[in-house]
Amino acid sequence: MPALLANVLIPGLFVLIWATGFIAARFVAPYAQPMPFVALRVMGVALVLAAIALALRARWPRTGAGWRDAMVAGVLMQGCYIVGVFWAIHRGLPAGIAALVGSLQPLATAMLAGPVLGEAVSRRRWFGIGLGFLGAGLVLAPKIGAADPAGIPPVALAACAGAVAAITLGTLWQKRTGADADLLATATLQFVGACLVAVPLALLSGDGLGVPLLLPVWLGMAWSVLVSSVAGILLLLVLIRRGAVAGVSALLFLVPPVSAAMAYLMFGEALTGLQIAGMAVAAVGVAVANRG
């Protein structure tokens, strides 16, 4: 029974937490520039995780290569991904479009898992991934159809696509190099790697490392540090450790419908019958892709 609960609760909680990343980006976008916000976020996460790791006596890598590999994964999975998504949404890319672009990551991961990791991606899993993609598209189709395609900033869209490419490569790198690493130590070093991306970009942007002393900004910061990042990355690393990378990545197909539901509750975005049907299709796709 405990194992069954873990198999259900951990993926569900991961999806819920991951979905809040798009909501948090939209929530703080009117109040703070993306580069300093992300820089302070990843620095805060690195400090929190380091304190937890030291308190629990986490097992740090014994070689320089182990430290390097964890930080490389962090550069891709945390630094490039978070910067890209926050920058894109701040520059006008709708959160729904960002979530839809993010839902392409499992397909990219599945395509690369074979040649990079030697994992066999079965026809059943391909079918599940395709079904999940269809469901995610159904959820977001009304938003895409209602928007003027010319109104989607091409540069922002490219930045979001680049963020998805980065987290795909980071997931594969982590799976290949971090199989025997301590999860808590790895998470800490990943956010140290994220700092190597976010802090220089914040300084080069001219915005520095300061954010406005406004309640929405610091509420968003607290949530982003403690929930979206600390809890989210630890759950992601556990999921990567527990199963094949293509199946783990298929969970991200549920993020767009969950994000749409949150947007409805927080911002009043209406959910159509087509979107509700898409949520069900995406859930079935994830179940098929992760079966066994």
pLDDT in tens, 165-204: 998 899 888 887 866 778 889 889 999 999 999 999 999 9
Neighbours of 244 (CB within 10 A): 21
Phi, then psi, of 61 in degrees rounded to 5: -55, 145
At 150 the pLDDT is 44
pLDDT at 3: 57
Q: Which domain holds residue 70?
A: 33-290
What is the percentage of the chain residues whose pLDDT exceeds 70? 83
On whether residue 134 sits in a domain, the answer given is yes
Instruction: Give the position of tokens 């995406």.
Output: 282
* 15 vs 259: CA distance, rounded Å: 9
Give a yes or no: residue 43 inside a domain. yes
Alpha carbon distance, N-terminus to C-terminus of the chain: 16
Residue 19 within any structural domain of the chain: no
Structural domain total, the chain: 1
Q: Which residue has the higher pLDDT, 63 or 7?
A: 63
| Predicted TM-score of the model (pTM) | 0.81
Encode pLDDT of 227-285 as tens digits. 988 888 778 767 766 665 555 656 667 787 888 788 778 877 666 777 778 878 877 87
Is pLDDT above 70 for 145? no
Q: Positive or negative CA dihedral for 215, 20, 29, 71? A: positive
Please provide the DSSP assignment of 200-215 as one string: HHHHHTT-TT-----H
